[in-house]
Chain A
């Protein structure tokens, strides 16, 4: 497996959806290629960080205000 082939499969590797026989090749490649191992680990970490530190959160007061405005108009039939 080359690095280019590894990167093409990266999403499937991260999502753990590669076929069993490909998985062995992926692991073999990562074992010998430090760069691909870094790309795999840091891409997975990127996802983890974005998932656990969600940006653009709605503060509760704004959320309540927007919610009330939506429901008031729905009750009037929009």
Chain B
């Protein structure tokens, strides 16, 4: 028995090609039915996400199955199959284990892919398209992914400026529900960061922008309230997180302005996320007690550190995966069912 994997991913195909191969949930049953009709194919699982479309099949003769698969895909996608990559076992097994562990993802170590593979497997299983070998393969993939996630630092840290800001807010305040956010300057990046914080439960968002209409629009979209830019200091007392991204050529949040405002805060921490260039907050503010200031460079540095940590873990992950591939291939050899 052989495990064949054929597919395309973000590594070798742009989105305009990937979308032609994508298999939506509504057409999954039909597509699985078609490829199960390929001579020599015992079972199949289709993994279709925004970054990849992959077919995992179990068969005795992978060459025959691949030809059949190409025919189906050409007909289905109506596109050039040049970017299609194929692996047979053990490379296909290793590939699935790597994909499930997030090693082949656009953002190294991301965990969403595991849930997507689980859904794909459950759907195929629900349509009766899996075999004993595919069942074992996917169960192993889930186990490997879990081990890789728990025993290495492949998922360590945040990998975008917004998620770093949310992580840091968590490390300062713990539970974010009930916290108050103020946005100074309604730019795209501050909006995205605020949305990330809202998704984590912050209570109110106050938006101050030089153009009040823009502030009111953003406040309306994220369920916050708008204030006139010149009044931001009046609304500051309850604020826990301040996101700055104005286009001002000089600092808006200065030590001189902030120190009197801090006096009425009862020692509550203040997290300032300065996304503006030139910076909106004076760097010396970070020296104030209970104030934590992060500018765009420091946030991006943390992103880089996280990615470096993840990259440094790849070797360990690959080692774990190789061990599991070896185990699975041994199992395949001892359970070599040639009857179809």
Q: Do A and B come from one complex?
A: no
Q: List the interface of chain B (C-beta within 8 A of A).
A: none
Q: List the interface of chain A (C-beta within 8 A of B).
A: none
